């Protein structure tokens, strides 16, 4: 079979389930911004259909979707360069998701660690949607024939599943239709950790607000949380090797590197030998300088919700020019009678 060439296209998504963290910004949004440009078509999505796999108050979901869109734009995603959508306005995501429910195997889904983490001990009471979530995620990506997906480290297993689903579909139907998407998990901050415990991921669902920096935190809150961040008593090392058994130190250095667009080695060349008492104010100053303008712009955009809604509507029209033909072709391959 001749190998199909796919247009270089980036897709990624974030759940509008309330509260963007520094982890979302450094692990995802900042890297979405970097991928805009001549090399790729870029599509970025507020995955509202994924959000309702756990209960969402409807009014909050609308607010959080707009706030996430404001966060994307305030961080530098330009609606003229990238397609910005909320998932539910592009029905082909859910339609292809159904086809993939019929491709993915129960055994594959049962191995997904994120389901186990989220459902916890109460798996019998979790929604069917939460269990099937990764098949819809595969559809989000493959309904654009996306070739590259920038995400944080925690999404790696879902992207492997996406490749498994694409390969099984192609194999079962004897086609070379869906691409083998490349995960893009790069940079110093692919896994930003809790400020209270360097072995736990920074997350919006952590009960302690001190564990995370929220994109809406003001300068005082950012500085306070960094000042109180857990550390160890030693001075900072001059080489990355010296961070190996020091999760909290490594996390703060990774955050500094990602915020300042440097490598860890470059940062350590500058701050190696310093105590945390000297390093934390540097980090706080940098974080406030980078995040302050973003949260101010988010607040300004949130005053114009109609403008946000227009951007999402326009994005969905552009998106459907890509997704509708790919869904139709999928249906043709599967054997669904087409309208005449």
Judge whether 290 counts as a catalytic residue. no
SS (H, E, C) 112-138: CHHHHHHHHHHHHHCCHHHHHHHHHHH
Helix, strand counts (H, E) of the chain: 14, 5
Q: Determine which one of 81, 156, 204, 274 is catalytic.
A: 204
SS3 of 11, please?
strand
Q: How far is the CB of 14 from ligand TYM (least distance, A)?
A: 4
Choosing from 201, 230, 280, 290, the catalytic residue is: 201
Looking up tokens 């790069």, which residue turns up?
186
Contact present, 179 and 147 (Cβ < 8 Å): yes
Q: Applying CB under 6 A, does 179 fall inside the site for ligand TYM?
A: no
Q: Which is nearer to ligand TYM, 149 or 215 (by Cβ)? A: 149
DSSP string, 82-123: EEEEEGGGSTHHHHHHHHHHTTS-HHHHHT-HHHHHHHGGGG
Tell me: does residue 47 bind ligand TYM (CB under 6 A): yes
Q: Name which position in 9, 13, 258, 280 contacts ligand TYM (CB under 6 A).
A: 13
Using CB under 6 A as the binding rule, whether residue 202 contacts ligand TYM is answered as: yes
Residues 155-174, one symbol each (x = binds ligand TYM by CB under 6 A, - = not), give x--x----------------
Q: What is the DSSP letter of 27?
A: I
- Looking at beta carbons only, is 128 or 338 nearer to ligand TYM? 128
End-to-end CA distance of the chain: 30
For ligand TYM, which residue of 27, 79, 132, 198 counts as binding (CB under 6 A)?
27
Select which of 118, 156, 168, 274 is catalytic: 118
Q: Name every residue whose Cβ is closer than 8 Å to that of residue 7 and which is 6 or more positions away in sequence.
A: 41, 145, 147
In this chain, which of 34, 60, 154, 297 binds ligand TYM, going by CB under 6 A? 154
Q: Is the Cβ of residue 28 or residue 215 nearer to ligand TYM in the bound state?
A: 28
Residue nearest to ligand TYM (CB): 27
**Which residues 6+ apart lie within 8 Å of 9 measured at CB?**
40, 41, 42, 43, 144, 145, 146, 147, 148
Q: Which sequence positions are flagged as catalytic?
A: 118, 201, 204
Q: Which residues bind ligand TYM (CB under 6 A)?
A: 11-15, 23-24, 27-28, 47, 50, 137, 140-141, 149, 151-152, 154-155, 158, 189-192, 201-202
């Amino acid at each position: 079979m001749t190998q199909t060439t796919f247009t270089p296209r980036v897709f990624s998504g974030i759940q509008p389930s309330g509260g963007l963290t520094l982890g979302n910004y450094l692990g995802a949004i900042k890297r979405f911004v970097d991928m805009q440009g001549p090399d790729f078509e870029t599509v970025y999505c507020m995955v509202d259909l994924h959000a309702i796999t756990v209960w969402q108050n409807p009014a909050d979901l609308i607010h959080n979707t707009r706030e996430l869109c404001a966060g994307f734009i305030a961080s530098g995603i330009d609606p003229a360069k990238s397609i910005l959508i909320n998932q539910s306005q592009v029905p082909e995501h859910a339609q292809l998701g159904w086809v993939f429910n019929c491709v993915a195997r129960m055994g594959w889904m049962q191995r997904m660690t994120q389901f186990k983490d989220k459902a916890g001990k109460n798996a019998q009471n979790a929604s069917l949607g939460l269990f099937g979530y990764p098949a819809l995620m595969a559809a989000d990506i493959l309904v654009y024939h996306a070739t590259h997906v920038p995400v944080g480290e925690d999404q790696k297993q879902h992207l492997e599943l996406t490749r498994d689903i694409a390969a099984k579909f192609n194999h079962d139907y004897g086609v070379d239709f869906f691409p083998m998407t490349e995960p893009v998990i790069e940079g110093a901050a692919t896994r930003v950790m809790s400020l209270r415990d360097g072995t736990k991921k920074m997350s919006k669902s952590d009960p302690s607000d001190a564990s995370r920096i929220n994109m809406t935190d003001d300068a005082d809150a950012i500085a306070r949380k960094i000042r109180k961040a857990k550390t160890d008593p030693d001075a900072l090392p001059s080489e990355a090797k010296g961070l190996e058994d020091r999760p909290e130190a490594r996390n703060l250095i990774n955050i500094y590197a990602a915020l300042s667009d440097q490598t860890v080695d470059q940062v350590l060349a500058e701050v190696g030998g310093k105590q945390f008492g000297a390093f934390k104010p540097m980090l706080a100053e940098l974080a406030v300088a980078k995040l302050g303008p973003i949260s101010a712009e988010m607040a300004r955009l949130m005053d114009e919700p109609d403008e946000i809604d227009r951007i999402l509507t326009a994005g969905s029209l552009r998106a459907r020019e890509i997704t509708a033909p790919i869904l139709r072709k999928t249906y043709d391959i599967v054997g669904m009678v087409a309208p005449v």
